[in-house]
Amino acid sequence: MSKAPQRPRGTQDIFGEAAARFDHVIATFNRLRGLYGFGRVEVPVFEATSVFARSLGETTDVVSKEMYSFEDRGGESITLRPEFTAGIARAYIENGWQQHAPLKLAAWGPLFRYERPQKGRFRQFHQLDAEVLGAAEPAADVEVIALAAHLLDELGIAGDVTLHLNTMGDPATRSAWSAAVAAHFAAHRDALSADSQRRLVANPLRILDSKDDGDRALVADAPRIDDFLTAEAGAFFEALQKGLQASGITWERAPRLVRGLDYYRHSVFEFITDALGAQGTVIGGGRYDGLIGMMGGPETPAVGWAGGIERLAMLVAEPKIGGLVAVVADRPENEAFAYLTTDRLRKLGWACEMAYRGNAKRQVELAKKRGAMAILFVRTAEEGGPAFHVQPLVPFFDEATLRSAARLTAGLDSMVGAVSLATS
């Protein structure tokens, strides 16, 4: 047992009901992003380390300790993608996608971060991602947020999740506010927790979401960004809120919600639930007008979000699994008819399966255990062709469904000859 291979820490084998939830989240996302005109984009799962290192700037902890980086055989430093945005930005620059701007893109897939696992936090995890590149208008922010809100609604979890919204303003706003916040906390340095004294040097804005009770008192009368907004930044935030309101989206103003990296501008938002403990952010995003320019591309405004598939999957209701029609040959000599029936059913769009082994009785038992919707017994009619007996197993396997089955057998009729349909 101990010699058997064990999956690496923080990875998961997703199966059964959990896999069905996972799948449901992705399917819903794919459907909705189509409704909003977001095209699918595929970018590499690994990139040159510099792609992520640059987008993360000098956040040394993140770059040095929390990325899966290694040297390939050519001696190049490679990193497993810890986020989508940097790779998409790289692709945008490299392929000259500015010709397509404004470009609406969607992606989903695995991401990797070398972190201590917690509830809803893994080393290989999966995210949905939606980005609008090359649009400076607040309408783009409205649209990506609307997509996120719609997704939560379709997943049936909108009631558990709150949209927290803030603005970082433009660069002038941000630097003025940031400096004021730093000055405020510096003036009360001795009252800050040890962690926050460290933040004061590394990233003062992060003190705003400290969990320390003592810090919170100081945070309460920290300078507010609203007092530093330039006319332009204020107008942008105003337009965003008007757009959201007109779209029927509700939100909570979160004046202390921030992004540490300074290429973020204007909108910052997170959809948060309290149903998942400390890892309550289910979708997070914002506008990152400074990123593409910083990575060496043309100055390009952009806005987007990413959502944790695992976290979303934990919140969705149990999807109904199964629902197959089990085809059972009453006797071995009916197997050929059963194969034919199964084939026809599938080509007519019915989900169905035949058991691999066991006699008819056993197959019935297993079909029931597996949650089949109905059992279709294939028999031999007195005239020699196949005869069928339908046994519904679930309440919603109703008359319409039975009629469809009748139509199926009618189709078989022309192929096989004499057919009789027996229903109970």
The answer to the question of residue 360 lying near RNA (CB under 7 A) is yes
Query: For RNA, which stretch binds (CB under 7 A), given 70-78, 145-153, 174-182, 254-262?
Result: 254-262
Measured over the CA atoms of residue 55, residue 60, residue 66 and residue 68, the dihedral's sign is: positive
Smallest distance from the beta carbon of 144 to RNA, in angstroms?
15
Q: Is 412 helix (H, G, I), strand (E, B) or coil?
A: helix
- Total residues at interface with RNA (CB under 7 A): 52
Rounded Cα distance, 400 and 413, in Å: 20
Closest CB to RNA among residues 28, 157: 157
Kindly state whether residue 252 participates in binding RNA, applying the rule CB under 7 A.
no
Contacts of 291 (CB under 8 A, 6+ apart): 55, 85, 86, 89, 263, 302
Question: Which helix H or strand E contains 214, and what residues bound it?
Answer: helix 213-220
**Closest distance of CB 187 from RNA, Å:** 20
- Min. distance of Cβ 86 from RNA in angstroms? 7
Shortest Cβ 35–RNA spacing (Å): 26
Binding positions for RNA, 188-207, rule CB under 7 A = 195, 198-199, 202-203, 206
If one asks whether residue 380 binds RNA (CB under 7 A), the answer comes out as no
Q: Lay out the site mask for RNA across 93-112 (x = CB under 7 A, - = otherwise).
A: --------------------
Edge-to-edge strand ranges of the sheet holding 252-253: 39-40, 103-112, 124-133, 302-308, 281-287, 265-273, 161-167, 252-253
* 116 part of the interface to RNA, by CB under 7 A: yes
Beta carbon of residue 120, minimum distance to RNA (angstroms, whole number) = 7
Q: What is the largest CA-CA distance in the chain?
A: 96
Of 23, 66, 160, 226, the one binding RNA (CB under 7 A) is 66
What is d(CA 28, CA 35) in angstroms, rounded to the nearest whole number? 11
Residue 118 found at the interface with RNA (CB under 7 A): yes
- Whether the CA torsion 56, 58, 60, 61 is positive or negative: it is negative
- CA nearest neighbour of 274 among 57, 62, 74, 119: 119
Residue 260: exposed, middle, or buried by beta-carbon count in 10 A (0-12, 13-18, 19+)?
Answer: middle
| 269 scored as a contact of RNA (CB under 7 A) | no
Helices and strands counted in the chain (H then E): 14, 16
**The one segment of 69-77, 78-86, 124-132, 292-300 that binds RNA by CB under 7 A:** 78-86
Positions that interact with RNA (CB under 7 A): 1-2, 6, 8-11, 52, 56, 59, 61-62, 66-67, 82-83, 85, 113, 115-119, 195, 198-199, 202-203, 206, 209-212, 259-261, 277-279, 284, 330, 360-361, 364-365, 368-369, 377, 389, 391, 393, 424
